[in-house]
Every structure is written in C-alpha cells, then in structure tokens.
Structure 1
Amino acid sequence: MLSVVSSSLPTVPATYNMAQDVLAAGAACPDKIALQVLRASGAERWSFARLTEAVRGTATGLQAHGLKPGDRVLLRLGNSVDFPIAFLGAIAAGLVPVPTSAQLTGPEITAMARALDPALVVAGDGVALPDHPAPVLPLTDLRAMRQQPPAAWHMGPPDRPGYMVFTSGSSGVPQAVVHAHRALRARRMMWDGWYGLRPDDRLLHAGAFNWTYTMGTGLMDPWAIGATALIPEPGAPLALLLRRFDATLFAAAPGVYRQMLKGTDRLDLPRLRHGLSAGEKLPPAMAEAWQRATGTPIFEALGMSECSTYVSGSPARPAPDGAIGYAQPGRTIAVLDDRGQPTPRGTPGTLAVHRSDPGLMLGYWHAPQATAARFTGDWFTTGDTVSMAADGAITYLGRADDMLNAGGYRVSPLEIEAALDAHPAIHDSAAVELEVKPGTTVIAAFYTADTPIPEPTLQAHASTRLARYKQPRMYIHRASLPRGANNKLLRRVLRQDWERAHDPA
C-alpha cells in the first residue's frame, strides 16, 4: 500500500468574503461574548455584535483612505485587540492585510516592506516602522474607525488573495505567503480533525494576538463556529486564568506547557477537556506529564505557514504512540520519495499536500520560481521527513533542511548568519538548533574570529538586526567551521559534535 491519503474537499461559495464567514455564526448570537482579553484583575469583553461593528466600521475607514481592493496593508501592531480588528476589517474591505511580529527590527521590516510595497502601514505605539513611502495610520485613527457606518462585505471569487504572512524560507530571505479567502473554509477541517471544537467552547490561546497561530486557532476558528476566544495578557498566570474563566480548550506551543509544568505535578483545571499543541515538536514526556498533572490529553498538529495544519491527533482519533496523528478529514496528503513518487507505507519520505487543498497558499508574492520549486507535479512538498503507517498515522522524523524552530516560529539559519557576519570581527558563522536538555532546544551561533568575542557584545549586535525570537541564546567560538567538498556549511555536523560532547550519559 502506498503512502497516500485522499479525501473529498470542503465546499466554498462561488462569491465569498473570509471576514464575513469568520463572523457569520456570531450573527445568530449577537450578545454572546466572542472575545475576552484576560488579565489577573479582570477581563475586557467583546460581544459578537460589538466585534462585527468594529470590523465593518474599520473597513469603511480604510476605504475612505482611498485604498482599492487588492492593496496590501502592512500591520505593525502590538499585542492587543486592535490586531484582529484591523486584520478582519481590511479583509472585509477587499484589502490584503499582512500581519507581522511586533518584535521585528527596523531593518527587518524595511526589507519586507520593499518586497511587499504596501499601500498603507497601520502603526501601533512603539513598534518599529519600515523606511518606506507608504502612509502610516496611527493607532488612534485606527480605533476611531470603529465608529464609522458598517461597510458592505467586499464579495468576490474565493480564490482571490485574502491575506499574506511572512515566513523564513531556506534562502534566508523572508517570503510573503499569499493566501486566498477560501483558506478559512479549509480551516474547518481542523474543527473535528484536531480541536474537537464546539459552539459552546471557551478556547484560551496562550500566544500574542499578532501570531498567526493565535489568529487562526485562537480567534478565527472559535468565532467561525460561534465559540468564545480567550486571550491572556503577556505574563498572566495561565493556570489561574484557565480555571477562573472556565476554559474548555487550551492552545499553546510546547514551551508554554513546559513552563506551566515547571515545579508542579498537579494543575486543577476542572472545565478543561484537552490541550492543543503546534509550532514545534511536542516531546512525548511533556504530553505525559500534562496528562498526569491535569487528567487531560494534548493533541498535536503539524503544519506550516503555507498551509496551516494538515496532520493532527484529535479527540475522535487520537494519535498512536510515537505519531503526530492522521491527515485531517478533507486533506489529501502523500509521503514522496526522491523521484516524487509515493513511498510504500512505513518507508520514510517527504510529506506533501495536494495542490487542490483550499488551505494551500496561492504562492509566494512575486516569486514564481520559488513557488514552483515547492511543487513536485501536483504535490506541494513541505520539507518535513515523515513515515506513514499502515493505518495512515504520520510519524514526524525531522526537517529535510536546516530550518530552525524558535518558539514555534520557523527561522532560516541564513538570515541569522547574515546578521552575525555583519559584525566586523566575525569571519564565518553558523546558526544551529541545539538540544540543551531533553525536550528543550535553543538557537546557537557558532562563529570564527581571531579571538572570542564577549557574549554581551554579540547579543547587542544581534539585537539591532534580528527580532528577539531569532536571536541566538548561545554563542560558541570555533577555530573553523566544518564544510563539505563543495564548501557547503555542515550545520548538522556542528550540532552532532556539540550534543555528543554535552551528552550527560
């Protein structure tokens, strides 16, 4: 039997607006709480009626700025409700919002803006802005738009561009991934295939508003089914908030679960049904510790910016031991060999998603060659090495390239190395992900220089060129870095040598 799973696709209306679909279920329960922003002292509440009014008013305000359908709107906003309102407001108006991390530095966001050429930059307080001629809309003006009369939903073909997200490609240059409006309908495959999501759920997501994992799993999916989203302020006591606000589902990256379990073997969460994990590999020992501490399982998902998640465990079909899960209902996936052909089941290969998937990106912005390079025939290749069992269960074996994982963000080592190589004393550098203890990895920078450079100096240098999550946590001086016959940097050799030298066994 070959490593292929085929399913029927979800339907998408012929004329469609993603923002309207996100908020449609809330129209039947306008007074129900759609969002609570949680603080130790209380909560800020948004009903579905208030949220929809703010989104449609924002759409009116953006249209009044002379923006036309298809224009890009670069979102430079902090961790607040302004982010999803601006995101959905732009989509409601037929614009194409581009969410970005508030941690990005001026040089990073300037490079992105040059590639994107936005028609407008929406700016939060204290967030680095690009050196670009696009007009800047301050936060006070954005918030004032909520009082505008509601805009009509901009309707059109479901496969027209709806939004973009940036991802670090293997080239080291962040690429803008263009998603269609239809991508929201593809997310419905996660409702049963991962979440076990219900309209009466209260889903608490531990991430910031402007993280795509939060935007999808924490906000749009609960709203699209009529459930309540709970978003805590940074640094809030998560276990306390989960209990106090009756959370039934909890979504986070593995690092958050690790922090919550530190120093305790019992968490009292009486309303919680289960947790959700994505962004990086969940260590089995951590899932077991969570089960013991809370009495609830964690269901893991595998995905990427180009297609969100597509493989997961779920309450209806938990993943077998050692596996991540199964293809979500509606997904068509395969495990391919080096010739682009499906492998026999049980044989490792590259995980691929069929190009017909409505959640698959339209392509990389103005990069047809980079887009074409990700396809093998009708298959989009993810770069993840996996194997498929006889029953279709997927076991994750690692990345087929040197991409790094920084708290759920995929980061190219080339981007980090380019920033480090700009230091006048550094001759050569290599960014590598190291496992510093079981289940815990960090980004480390190996470098060559005439003499070791003080770590605070390197940290200060990196902070001016890289967002915090991209900055190395370790700096290791070497006399030379290993390279192959074609002068290719051998990052895996560095990782293996370091981990062998630091193996406690």
Structure 2
Amino acid sequence: MSEALWDEGPFAPCPAPFNMAAHTFAPAERRPEKVALEVLGAPGEVVERWTHGALAEAVRRTAGGLAAAGLRPGERVLLRLGNSSDFPILFFAANALGAVPVAVSAQLTVAEVGAILADLAPALVCLGTGLALPEAPGAPVIAAGEIAALRGHEPLPYAATAPDDPAYMVYTSGTSGGPKGVVHAQRAAWARRMMWDGWYGLTPEDRVLHAGAFNWTFTLGAGLTDPWAIGATALIHAGPADRTVWPRLIAAHGATIFAAVPGVYRQMLGEVGALPALRHGLSAGEALPAAVREAWTAATGRPVYEALGMSEVSTYVSFSPARPPVAGCAGYPQPGRRVAVIGEDGVPLGRGEDGLLAVSRRDPGLMLGYWRRAAETAAAFRGEWFVTGDRARMRADGAIVHLGRADEVMNAGGFRVSPAEVEAALAAHPGVAEAAAVEMPVREGVSVIAAFYVPVEAPVAEAELAAHCAGRLARYKCPRVFRAVAALPRGANGKLLRRRLREG
C-alpha cells in the first residue's frame, strides 16, 4: 500500500523582496485602465467602479495617510468595518506600508472586540459607520468620517518586505474558547497562486462575483485578492441580499465565476436557471450536499468546485476544472502542495487508512504562527507536519475523503465557532447551571448550533436565552436551538459526551 502522501513537486519559490499589496496590484502597471472592481446594488446597477490603476493609487495614497496618522511598519492596525470598499483599500494600504492589518467581523459584540483589542494591542483602529468599540480601545481611532481623507496624501511606494515578514492577521475560534490570532506571512499571497489552477481555473478575463461581504476573509481572498492579482474583475454586492438576487446579479453583470458558501447555493434553488456567461461556481466553508450540487448543475448546466481549508493555510484541497468532482470526496491537494494523512505519531499512513489530515510546514501558505501563543503553535506541529484538526482518508488516486473534525470546533455558515466560547456565554446566565454547545443537523446539509443546558431551577424561556446570547456573541455564534436537560452526558472520566447530545 502506498503512503497517504501527496507531493507532485514544490510550487515556484516566492521572490524576494515580496509585498502582498505590490503583488496584488501588479496588473495596474500593465493595464491600469482595466476594471478591477464593480460594487453592485440592484441587478444592473453599479454603485462604484474602480480600475486597477485607480485602486492601486487609492491604496498607496491611503498608505501615506496611515503613515501620517502614526502607523509604522510592523505595527498592527485593527479594521472594524462594514461591507464597504473602504475595507480592502485600508487592508492593502496597511500592508503596502509594511504594517499588519487585522480584520474583525462587524458582527462581533463590543465585549468580543474588547477581548481582541486586549490581546492584539494595536497601534491604530479604523472604525466603520454604525459600529462600536469599548470605551477605552487602547489605541487612536480613525472614525468612518475620517477614512476618505486618508486618500488625500501623497502615495507611498510599496514596502520592500521579505517573504517571511508578517503581512496580516485573522482571529479564529479554537478549542480553548477564546479567539486566537493567526499571523500570516507576505508569502501567503504568492501561495494563493496555487489556487488559480488548483481550484478556480482563474484567468485575467474572468468576472468573479463573490456572495460574501467585503469584510469577510473568504471574500478578501477568493473574491478580491486573487482576481486582482491575475488582472481580472471582482464583483461585490453591497445591497440587501435575498435568495433571488444572486442569479439575477450573475446574469445582469456577466459573472463568469460565482463563489459562495453552500447555504447560498441551497437558497438559490428554484430561482436559478440558465446563466450563459457563467463558467462555474466555487464553494467553501462547509461541505456542499450532493443533492444541492446536482440540483444547481441541472438548473444551470454548470459545475461547482468545492474547496477545503482553514484560517491557518487557506484552501489547500479542492476540485477544479482540471480535476472534476468525485462523489464522496472533498477534493485533491492543489498542485504544489505537500499533504498527508498521518497517524498520531506524525508518520504518513497508507492510502485508504483513516487518520489526521496534515500540511507540510514547507507550504508557503502556512501561517507563521498563533499570535502570542508559542506553545500552542508548537503543539500544532508533529515533525514536518502541521496538523489541521480534520480527520481524513486519502484514496489511491490522491483524492481526500473528509471525515470531520478531530476536535469539536463547530461550523456555522462557514465560520468556525468554539463550543467553549458559546458555553461560557450561556453559563453567564443566572438560570443556567452548566451548558454544552454542539453542531446539530436539522435536515440534509443544514446544521445549526444547539445549546443544551442544566437549569438552576426551572427551564429558562428560549427568547430570554436567545437575547442573552445575542448580547455576548456575534450572530453567527448564537445557538438556534435551546434544550433544557436534567444533566449533561459524561463519560467515566468526566468528559462531556457531545456526540450523545447530537444523536439525541
């Protein structure tokens, strides 16, 4: 039996010096007049239109404005912004300066943002319209009304950063309960080129419509960074979303690639028909149910290519036009990746055996580490291998069968959510003695976060618990189901048996 190891040779080495923003806006030097971004309102309505040249200039001028505000290379800037083109401009401006942008979801509560601010200690905060911060954020704040003025400064040259210099950070939930910062290197943008053929089938002539908001990391990567870096056009919808808008936007704006989480594809069924300009769809965040894929393809005549990834390495396993979907599989490791299914000892197993999915520490897209968590970073590796936390099996042809999470982090609409974080919020209610959160399927392909709790006395009204959680957690982290139980199921060693809760 051959090893469960995929290695078709390394990807082209990242050039040095290397700056993520300079790489992303390189097409502006070749075709500055080509459209880079269209911000869409109603189908047929373009609210903003940016050329590659204009966008690159706005980024470099904003970098000058951030420098004038006191931001220095290597310092961190927290971006708490809504669904606006201000977000990618500020993100890449900070990177162009050599600083480290850190995006946080607009859905987070003030308390959640406060915890991140305390952990991050940023030098600057950029705050969008209608969003709030703790009373003492600990850093100067550039408010929404001041953001546009940053573009009035002289443009800065892109910083001559090294491939391994920090480029940006994202916060993700972990098994410890609190958010943890994932630090990515400048080379992460270079590594994304493995997705161009390994997932997207991306070309400079594509028009890529992403169903996510500007300020989501999935949108930032697949919807903006990669289309811009290859010289294509990104389409982002800034109007109100409903199940009927996406097929109408695809048709009205000539989208050739459409990217969304599985839930969006599911909602579109019954509303979508032939889309002549569309070449294919992309899906990530969670598994796309076979029935949804088949119904979409039957209605549109176009395939959907899935991808598997995580905050620490982005997507690294996927289907693509070159490697079409295989039933029951998550995809193939992208060309240039070194991926294995390993045992607890860190040694690759045989193909067909169940184990832990792992990515080589040599992967240029792998994180630098967890912010201020050296021990946790070291614990994520076993020799050469970064252990992703997913269980998997590698078939004889190299296709990956995904077997679920080895840990118990939940997936809510494409976001990873720690059960411990939800449980801590629930336990703060005076009527809750103890609580457990699990991901529970409610129908084929649809899961929600369910909360099981032991009441102090009588069961608490669902509406009261929902309001309690809404005040402490982002909307996507809030349970949708609340069930009072006499006791939480535990094993002989006292460990909570979450599977028993899921199975009823």
Q: With the length of structure 1 as denominator, give the TM-score of the two structures.
A: 0.97
Is residue 2:262 matched to residue 1:257?
no
2:22 corresponds in structure 1 to: 20
Task: Return the alpha-carbon distance in structure 2 between the equivalents of residues 27 and 127 of structure 1.
Answer: 36
Percent sequence identity over matched residues? 58
SS for the counterpart of 2:429 is coil
Contact 1:182 1:358 (8 Å CA) reproduced: yes
Q: Deviations over 1:327-378 (max 9, x none)?
A: 1011000000122111110001110000011100000001000101110111
Contact 1:99 1:165 (8 Å CA) reproduced: yes
Q: 1:54 aligns with which of 47, 50, 58?
A: 58
Task: Return the alpha-carbon distance in structure 1 between the equivalents of residues 315 and 351 of structure 2.
Answer: 21
Contact 1:104 1:128 (8 Å CA) reproduced: no
Q: 2:498 aligns with which of 487, 491, 497?
A: 491
2:478 corresponds in structure 1 to: 471
Is residue 2:331 matched to residue 1:325?
yes
Is residue 2:363 matched to residue 1:357?
yes
1:36 corresponds in structure 2 to: 38
Q: Deviations over 1:215-239 (max 9, x none)?
A: 0000000000000000012434111
Task: Return the alpha-carbon distance in structure 2 between the equivalents of residues 283 and 31 of structure 1.
Answer: 41
1:107 corresponds in structure 2 to: 111
Task: Return the alpha-carbon distance in structure 2 between the equivalents of residues 486 and 108 of structure 1.
Answer: 32
Q: Which runs of 5 or more residues in structure 1 are unaligned?
A: 498-505
1:91 corresponds in structure 2 to: 95
Q: 1:442 aligns with which of 441, 448, 453?
A: 448
SS for the counterpart of 1:98 is strand
Task: Return the alpha-carbon distance in structure 2 between the equivalents of residues 10 and 431 of structure 1.
Answer: 43
Q: 1:299 aligns with which of 290, 300, 305?
A: 305
SS for the counterpart of 1:428 is strand
Task: Return the alpha-carbon distance in structure 1 between the equivalents of residues 70 and 128 of structure 2.
Answer: 21
1:500 corresponds in structure 2 to: none
Q: Runs (4+) of structure 1 moved beyond 4 Å?
A: none
**How far did residue 322 of structure 1 move?**
1.1
Once structures 1 and 2 are overlaid, which stretch shifts more, 243-252 or 145-154?
145-154
**How far did residue 129 of structure 1 move?**
1.3
SS for the counterpart of 2:175 is coil
Task: Return the alpha-carbon distance in structure 1 between the equivalents of residues 126 and 285 of structure 2.
Answer: 27
What letter matches 1:238 in structure 2? W
What letter matches 1:328 in structure 2? Q
1:346 corresponds in structure 2 to: 352
Q: 1:231 aligns with which of 233, 236, 242?
A: 236
Contact 2:65 2:152 (8 Å CA) reproduced: no
Q: Deviations over 1:226-269 (max 9, x none)?
A: 000000124341111100000000000000001111x44x5121
Please tell me the root mean square deviation across aligned C-alpha atoms, in Å: 1.0
Q: 2:460 aligns with which of 440, 453, 457?
A: 453
1:125 corresponds in structure 2 to: 129
1:398 corresponds in structure 2 to: 404
SS for the counterpart of 2:450 is strand
Task: Return the alpha-carbon distance in structure 2 between the equivalents of residues 405 and 128 of structure 1.
Answer: 26
What letter matches 2:408 in structure 1? D
2:248 corresponds in structure 1 to: 240
What letter matches 1:224 in structure 2? A
Q: Deviations over 1:58-101 (max 9, x none)?
A: 10001112221110000010010000000000000010000110
Contact 1:277 1:299 (8 Å CA) reproduced: yes
User: What are the within-5 Å matches in structure 2 for residues 128-167 of structure 1?
Assistant: 128-130=132-134, 131-167=136-172
Contact 2:11 2:194 (8 Å CA) reproduced: no
